[in-house]
Amino acid sequence: MHSIFISGAAQGIGAATARLFYQHGYKVGIYDINEIQAQKLAQQLGPHAKAGLLDVADYQQWQQALSEFKAWAGGVNVLVNNAGILYSGAFEQTDIAAHHRTVDINIKGVLNGCHAALPYLQRASFARVINLSSASAIYGQADLASYSASKFAVRGITEGLDIEWQKYDIRVLDVMPLFVQTALVKDMDAGSIQNMGVHLTTEDVAQAIYARVQAKDSIFTTTHQAVGLKTKMLMTLSKLSPQFINRMSNRFLAKRK
C-alpha cells in the first residue's frame, strides 16, 4: 500500500486530497498546524489515516512528523506540499510581518518539506513530490504581490528539483489552480478575484493532484499542470503574447469594480 504525506491537510485542498487518496487505497498522513482538526479528519477517514502537528516553517517539526509517519506507514511515497497562506490588498497597507510570514510558510515550508522528505523518498520504490503552485505564478498579481512571488518561488523550486532529482527517479511536479473555494479567498481584497470569480472546488484540485501522482513518468509528463480552463487560457496567453500584452491583460484583470 502506497502512502502520502500532506501538509496543511486539516481543511481545504489538503483535506479534499486526503479524502481522495484514502478512497484510492493510500495510507494518508494528515499533518497541520491545527492538530485537533487534523485528528478529527483522520478519525472520520479510518484506520489508514494518521494525523499530527506540523508547522511547515519549522524544519525540526518536519523531521519529527516525517519520522513518525514513516514508522507508522512503513515508508513515504508521495509528498504534497499544500500548506500556504494568502494576504491580499495594497502592498504598502499590508504589515511587513504578513509579507514575511508568507515567505516563511509558502516558500520556506516547501523547501523544508522537500529537504526533510528526500531521505524517505529515496528509499521508496515509487516516489513523487507534488507542490501547490498557483495561476498567480504565471504573471505577478496586483494586491497579491508577496503571495504571487511565493508561488513563483514554488514554481522555480519545482522546476529545479524535477531536473535535479532525476538521479533519484523522483519526479517533482506542481499544480497551478486559479482561485479555489477555500477559506483563503474569503473576503479577499483584490480586483482579480472580482473579475475572474471563484469557480474551482477543492475536489477539482485534489483530482488534479491525484492525476499528477498517477501520471506515467515520461518526457511528455509536464512539470506544471494548470487547473481549470481559465488558468489554462492564462498560461497559453503568457506563452504566446509579448510581455506588454501580458502586462496590459493583468492590469485589466486587476481593475476593481
Active-site residue (options: 22, 26, 147, 210):
147
Measured torsion, CA atoms of residues 110, 112, 117, 119, in degrees rounded to the nearest 10: 140
Confidence of residue 184 (pLDDT cuts 50, 70, 90): low
- Identify the pLDDT of residue 91: 92
CA dist., res. 6 & res. 87, Å (int)? 22
- Average pLDDT, integer, range 42-68: 98
Q: What is the pLDDT of residue 183?
A: 59
In which band, very low, low, confident or very high, does the pLDDT at 106 lie, cut at 50, 70 and 90? very high
- Specify the pLDDT at position 229: 73
Model pTM?
0.87
Phi/psi-derived region of residue 144, left when phi > 0, alpha when psi is between -120 and 50, beta in every other case = alpha
The pLDDT assigned to 241 comes to 56
| 147 in catalytic set | yes
Instruction: Catalogue all structural domains in the chain, each as residue range(s) with its CATH number.
Output: 3-254 (3.40.50.720)
Q: What is the band of 248 on the pLDDT scale with cuts at 50, 70, 90?
A: very low
Q: What is the mean pLDDT of residues 35-43?
A: 98
Enter the C-alpha cell of residue 46: 479510518
What's the chain's average pLDDT?
A: 87
Among 81-85, 170-174, 235-239, name the one with the lowest average pLDDT.
235-239
Edge-first strand order for the sheet with 128-132 is: 49-53, 27-32, 3-7, 78-81, 128-132, 171-177, 224-227
137 to each of 2, 54, 151, 154, 195, how far by Cα in Å? 31, 25, 5, 8, 18
* Whole-angstrom distance, CA of residue 28 vs CA of residue 206: 14
